[in-house]
Chain A
């Protein structure tokens, strides 16, 4: 309870900034902010440890002390030195994790906006059993004002962001829509094609990629791209494609380097997409190539200019869809109906995973 006055204080600050924001609104906005954390942390009734520890009952908890989760040495040391999570310390940590705990393994750049942090705090607080609200234990925090929102929503479709009602039209046959502005196309059209079309200007070296990878990627993909737990493996597997259990990675399977650049730029790091600069993506691509022994020099610099000189070894092993050359694709007018097998069917094998629970041997992958 001793933390409560502090919370009120931080709410008061936000209140004066934002003008009359209710507690329920804060929780709701905080839930949105939490999306930035959700790739790694869970809260709520069924919360489990993921990449990071679950964040239920965080307030009052000693840093690095949650049982059943493997913290970094740095986080454990901070806890041993007396770091306890409360409004102030969480705020500091979340603003810039590595500033508070230099060697924490939480790969998260930080939340710059004070308002986001205050909302997040209210949201996390709602999963605190001390806070007394039972509803909060569900992962749907109290949301009294939700219904009020609907009435305002319809009116907001014509707010400033949308084009004026009388827009001149597309100039197409039906004259619907409007011309896209160059800046708008530029903001969204980030795709890179297999032949390098669409690459932005920029460059980065293996050596520059390494610390970014260690900080932002290794928590899931492993320091050497070997994949932590079930997270995707990014390196290795060369020469295994004809094996009984092939390992498909960038080095062993992917046909084009451009795909690495395009995918990292559009989707990684998981939970914080589109946060990397173009130079960082060049550096990370170079580093991933290095992890796969495609380039061997740490000073190797990948750039728009030399991009197409880097070919992946498996490029030539992709072929067109030749399914209908397989014998069973021959069209049939009347399939066999009687005595189609010489002998009665014999049972050969039963479902290996009877109750659909994990079983060491058959860890599958969805691909």
Chain B
């Protein structure tokens, strides 16, 4: 009963879980054993009885890895893209491997990327941040200047408004990396935008700001001044180290709880104005077309949402029936997640999961549901609730309200079908 002989298994492997193939092929016996709760092994385990190379020989010294990288056994834990989504990888997206991660922080090298003109490689010595428009003093800051402002550290999720956007018409992409991977959760260090705006002195007519990137797309978005003064950060560090080039090195805007496109990377200018600009990314894109032909604009806030990351199509249950850990992430653009309920019967009955780890406003939360799997098929769902009483809707509720062509802001409940063999699939149910 080697898992690797199964057709649907091939597809899981295609998506990159080579490890599963290995464990499936080598572990057929183990799988049976654990399924019958046999606790003692018949033969001694060579992993214990034999002396391994790493038990005997010394390894690399401290000079071998000046910047550490993950173990070679983690080589499949990578961002992945879906080439047919866009014409060119230079204006495209890749996805965070959520099913491989735990806790709430996304490692820097795995944060999904979305850019519109490729990765700008900027020498920080040549980078400037300008503030102009309706201000008392138009200013220019160097990176050194920015470092002289008082700093804050905050953990926030960044979700692309198009996350789960392929699923409006029905189950499409088979893996939570692809259905939900346009999100990451990082601790930022930076200067409150309010301080920079105060330094320039916003004139009373000023009501909006327009951040602009230095990359070849010169990304721009209109943001209400109220938000800019509230919690936006001009950040230069992520998870303690310099921003990665693909995340906007040397400096980016952080717009907590609001759609990722507004978090302008490679930030070089902030203009203050009295009205919004209606630029391409807030007209042609990031507007939500309804069935009536009308389109909503300035839909900034990200709604409450969650997804089960394990098990999921790329992370099947390999151990057979018995005690298992179901895990997932939840977030809300309007505050803290208060509670996540989990269903194993497709939303008929629910149980409240256990939130673990820091619970921070506008940050990812980690939930666990520890239970005994009886080995029968499951329709797994998670339903998040935030501190304002907002509850994640079903797919049908969203479709009824908006039709299938909104593209953005799909925060509906996801269903994974787990089969008796432990494999999982993205499905829609009644």
Nearest CB to that of A363 among chain B residues?
Answer: B84
A244 to B175, CA, bound (A): 26
A279 to B379, CA, bound (A): 59
Query: Nearest chain B CB to A354's CB is how many angstroms away?
Result: 5
Report chain B residues within 8 Å CB of A309.
none
Query: Nearest chain B CB to A355's CB is how many angstroms away?
Result: 5
Verify if B322 is at the interface (C-beta below 8 Å from A): no
Verify if A306 is at the interface (C-beta below 8 Å from B): no
Report chain A residues within 8 Å CB of B109.
none
Determine which of A231, A320, A340 lies in contact with B350 in the assembled complex, contact meaning CB atoms within 8 Å: A340
A270-B117 contact, Cβ under 8 Å, with A259-B280, A317-B293, A350-B426? yes
Fill in one digit per residue for B282-293: 1 if any A CB lies within 8 Å of its CB, else 0.
011101010111
Report chain A residues within 8 Å CB of B113.
none
B216 touches A191 (CB 8 A): no
Determine which of B195, B284, B385 lies in contact with A253 in the assembled complex, contact meaning CB atoms within 8 Å: B284
Verify if B137 is at the interface (C-beta below 8 Å from A): yes
B401 touches A348 (CB 8 A): no
A340-B347 contact, Cβ under 8 Å, with A191-B277, A229-B87, A353-B172? yes
Nearest CB to that of B377 among chain A residues?
Answer: A347
B218 touches A242 (CB 8 A): no
Verify if A345 is at the interface (C-beta below 8 Å from B): yes
Report chain B residues within 8 Å CB of A166.
none
A189 to B428, CA, bound (A): 48
Instruction: Please provide the chain A residues from 234 to 265 with a CB less than 8 Å away from any CB of chain B in the complex.
Output: 241-242, 244-246, 248, 250, 253-256, 258-259, 262-263
B130 touches A180 (CB 8 A): yes
A185 touches B132 (CB 8 A): yes
The majority secondary structure among interface residues of chain A is loop
Instruction: Please provide the chain B residues from 161 to 208 with a CB less than 8 Å away from any CB of chain A in the complex.
Output: 162, 165-166, 170-175, 178, 195, 198-201
Nearest CB to that of A50 among chain B residues?
Answer: B88
A59 to B83, CA, bound (A): 29
A173 touches B198 (CB 8 A): yes
Query: Nearest chain A CB to B81's CB is how many angstroms away?
Result: 10
Nearest CB to that of B351 among chain A residues?
Answer: A337
Instruction: Please provide the chain A residues from 25 to 57 with a CB less than 8 Å away from any CB of chain B in the complex.
Output: 35, 38-39, 50
Listed from nearest, the 9 A-B pairs whose CB atoms lie closest are: A345-B346, A331-B389, A172-B199, A230-B87, A358-B84, A194-B278, A351-B426, A351-B174, A180-B138
Q: Which residues of A line the B interface, CB within 8 A?
A: 35, 38-39, 50, 153, 156-157, 159, 161-163, 170-174, 176-180, 184-185, 188-189, 191-195, 220, 229-232, 241-242, 244-246, 248, 250, 253-256, 258-259, 262-263, 266-267, 270-271, 273-274, 317-323, 326-329, 331-333, 335-341, 343-358, 362-367
